[in-house]
Structure 1
């Protein structure tokens, strides 16, 4: 075997997390004294939203945050990236602070810490206060001061427990889709000049937020931001195509805000790129030295939201040109390519250009998930997406990119903005009629990845030509055929006529996890599948899955799953009994119109 470190191990203290955003999950749109956001106003027009759906209830995370954090604890995530709702904290955007808003986020943060989950706060993820929008929103030259005031409130209330901060999420989206194309809130179609001015105010807001966090944080902060932008992958590994992909990733187009370098160059290097100034011409905003200095204060990491990477090649004219998807190439419900090289080339290109540690702040895929007849959600394609993308990310690390964390988008199925509840991104399935939650198969796959710090991914790195070692193959076969029996590593080693230490070492070298952990995981998977039958006795499950006794089974199950076998089974009993909704209750269903 190669004596070098296993190729799929991730760095020590790697941040394994999940991401959400406030408007997409919280609901409670008018709870207590919360103010309106531009999304609350945008959703008032049903024609703008798919099937007239809204975020009024969303996932009801505002009332169910403890339950959702319980699912995070089950999965084993170490970090949770969530956004604050600006109008929930400050109803009018400036001025009076909401005690109820502060109380909610304090409770959320405390519950996360009680479950050993580190909070990562994003200050702005698109739900802009409607009262400030009426005063010009991002076009108002006072908007950076408003954002500074909001940041000050957040830092003063939460920075005694929170050290990870992100300022702005994806200006390309909330400006490009919300102010230029009119597809997102607030639904404007402004000129390019006005959009770039709003963008400049956004970047000034970022700068003021960084300064405020540095100045007022009660514990040492780690600060980043989380822009979007197109990542492209080379059609081949030729140097020309790699250069084409790099050039396309940082290119600027005169009729679009959708790019990386216009935003990131100013934040990190203190200047708008020359290519952008040329492309936007007279539409580009005027800047001064004080603006550039404020915007480009040092940050600690670069957040990457990466979902796909279209393929490009270098043309004979020396320009990047797009390459059509191959017939039958896997795509998501959004019709985005699922090619995992997005998480190889994206981190590499961004780290090469900006030299900041990389955190993957969003990565996921929209798939057609549904509850199967056995009560489970077998989202095999998301599980495959997760594994392939993390293997690609590990390759980027091997090739020199400093990647310090991965946040899967998303924890929950949620409101996909103007697309309503059409798309499902979550590791946790949400029934949008009952709001019941169910862990998908991908959540259990992520749990194993986190538990082993990615080492379990090694079992997917072997070439098809490489033979599975005999003892590994036979051990797996023995476990599968004798799952109801009580056995351990020594039992299997005796069956294979080899030493237990040799068997354990060989198994871990090939699969990336210990044989004892594999046995436990297979037994638990068997138990989970059986417990989806609401009528089966827990003692029978314990016996059928080879546990020594019911007490031992309950202890192992609770340790690994974060709940007792009985509680796990009850969710399926509840679901079976609530399939039929009385006619009188239909009118009370907040989503009956869907």
Structure 2
């Protein structure tokens, strides 16, 4: 039996995003974001929940950084609110908003916690949404101007940057099915949004190369697809599903071409100029972030447009409160798949975690969350197995540091390592937080043996 040990220098962290934790969305001169607008629209979120307070991180950031240090985190992945820095999306810089992130970064560094900053985690300035948002070809320039301002302010202290978080969710949830801001439902809009997201990513990376001194990457959510049977129809559905979600952004960003299946999926809605411009979307990055939560067993389903694939529920396995199957081996599979398809780009697991029912805080001040402990244990073992199989995996960020605003699900789903009382904002580390701290302290040995 061999004890698990992660490589020297492996980066251990946790992640959040601005609208989910900060609160105070209009404080100190910040502008309205599309998510502020969306969450204040009736029936768009569970129970009408909004991010107006969220975890009050905008005011409690110093205590939260101290909490991170107490848990033993070596890195913190957070996002920057575009509308906090540019209230109108372009033009005037809100110095007070930028100062907030300067204070946060300085506090992290004082505690020995490496900042990992995401430029876009779904909250677009509403002023830009009014001008078409991600449908407007000018958005790549708007994004680059915003990114350049933030680079100049923080790059001397931020060692890791990412341009976009989960562009697939921006496209699919925001423009295809309408579950996220801005709430559109259009097969015609979706591929144009994808193309503009990728144009913005590539332009921001090019801008960073001219002024930046550290590392920049892209973060995608990947959901491994497995055919439900060997029937040709199911195998074809698996290929379409994989292209739609997993290769949709990686192929253009890393290979300079779109998957052939996308033209079949979108049909006449596919923009011809996207193929002609795909080579310009390939811009070398320093690292790739992978957000993994679950897998999908797929079958052919002509009624489920536009991909024509249906998910086959795997009832023999545990499912999270989000309805997602818990299947750690798929994490190993997807990491190996990325290496085999795209080469040895340095990888980080930038989100991994689970929403489970949490019992009330006990008198002793702890939340016992055994399912989440098991989730982290088994997925970290799966990550280690990928390293054993030759994947250049350099870090892991648990999602999420805090129970937070879970987008359209409001506060109904809790992913946090740390319990947040929504009435008092009291933070209480869960047993999973202490477990993760032990993993960090022992460099993986707390996971047990590789054979266990």
Scaled by the length of structure 1, the TM-score of the pair is: 0.71
SS where residue 260 of structure 1 aligns?
helix
Matched, 1:228 2:217: no
Structure with the bigger percentage of strand: 2
The residue aligned with 2:268 is 282
- 1:30–1:91 distance in 2 versus 1, CA, 3 Å: same
Question: Matched residues in 2 for 1:247 and 1:427: separation?
Answer: 39
Q: Is the 8 A contact 1:348 1:396 kept in 2?
A: yes
Question: Matched residues in 2 for 1:405 and 1:357: separation?
Answer: 9
Question: Matched residues in 2 for 1:34 and 1:429: separation?
Answer: 28
Question: Matched residues in 1 for 2:228 and 2:334: separation?
Answer: 14
Deviations, residues 473-520 of structure 1 (Å, cap 9, x unaligned): xxxxxxxxxxxxxxxxxxxxxxxxxxxxxxxxxxxxxxxxxxxxxxxx
Matched, 1:267 2:253: yes
Match of 1:455 among 411, 427, 445: 445
- 1:197–1:322 distance in 2 versus 1, CA, 3 Å: closer
Matched, 1:67 2:63: yes
Match of 2:240 among 241, 244, 252: 252
Match of 1:337 among 311, 316, 325: 325
The residue aligned with 1:204 is 199
Question: Matched residues in 1 for 2:397 and 2:211: separation?
Answer: 27
Matched, 1:392 2:382: yes
Match of 1:297 among 247, 269, 283: 283
SS where residue 287 of structure 1 aligns?
helix
- 1:324–1:52 distance in 2 versus 1, CA, 3 Å: closer
Q: Is the 8 A contact 1:86 1:124 kept in 2?
A: yes
Q: Cα offset for 1:293?
A: 3.9
Q: Cα offset for 1:257?
A: 9.0
The residue aligned with 1:132 is 128
Question: Matched residues in 2 for 1:196 and 1:51: separation?
Answer: 31
Q: Cα offset for 1:312?
A: 6.1
Q: Cα offset for 1:193?
A: 2.3
Q: Cα offset for 1:247?
A: 8.1
| 1:386-425 matched pairs, under 5 angstroms | 386-425=376-415
The residue aligned with 1:498 is none
* Larger RCO of the pair (alpha carbons < 8 Å, separation 6+): 2
Q: Cα offset for 1:287?
A: 3.1
Question: Matched residues in 1 for 2:24 and 2:376: separation?
Answer: 31
Q: Cα offset for 1:248?
A: 7.0
- Using the TM superposition, name which of 295-304 and 202-211 deviates more: 295-304
The residue aligned with 1:77 is 73
Q: Is the 8 A contact 1:106 1:158 kept in 2?
A: yes
After superposition, the CA RMSD in angstroms is 2.6
The residue aligned with 1:107 is 103
Q: Cα offset for 1:354?
A: 1.1
Matched, 1:19 2:15: yes
Deviations, residues 374-404 of structure 1 (Å, cap 9, x unaligned): 4310011111110011111111111122111
Question: Matched residues in 1 for 2:19 and 2:166: separation?
Answer: 15
Matched, 1:183 2:179: yes
Q: Is the 8 A contact 1:82 1:121 kept in 2?
A: yes
| 1:546-565 matched pairs, under 5 angstroms | none
Matched, 1:381 2:374: no
Q: Is the 8 A contact 2:90 2:142 kept in 1?
A: yes
Match of 1:37 among 15, 24, 33: 33
- 1:98–1:15 distance in 2 versus 1, CA, 3 Å: same
- 1:248–1:368 distance in 2 versus 1, CA, 3 Å: same
Number of residue-to-residue matches in the alignment: 443
Deviations, residues 273-315 of structure 1 (Å, cap 9, x unaligned): 222223323222233788434310111222111001134699x
Tell me which structure has the larger Cα radius of gyration: 1
Match of 1:193 among 183, 188, 192: 188
Deviations, residues 446-495 of structure 1 (Å, cap 9, x unaligned): 01100111122225743xxxxxxxxxxxxxxxxxxxxxxxxxxxxxxxxx
Scaled by the length of structure 2, the TM-score of the pair is: 0.92
**Structure 2: gaps of 5 or more residues:** 301-308
Question: Matched residues in 1 for 2:383 and 2:228: separation?
Answer: 18
SS where residue 96 of structure 1 aligns?
coil
Question: Matched residues in 2 for 1:244 and 1:22: separation?
Answer: 42
Q: Is the 8 A contact 1:234 1:312 kept in 2?
A: yes
**Structure 1: gaps of 5 or more residues:** 315-319, 463-594
Q: Cα offset for 1:322?
A: 5.9
- 1:435–1:48 distance in 2 versus 1, CA, 3 Å: same
SS where residue 188 of structure 2 aligns?
helix
Question: Matched residues in 2 for 1:312 and 1:134: separation?
Answer: 37
Q: Cα offset for 1:409?
A: 0.3
The residue aligned with 1:354 is 342
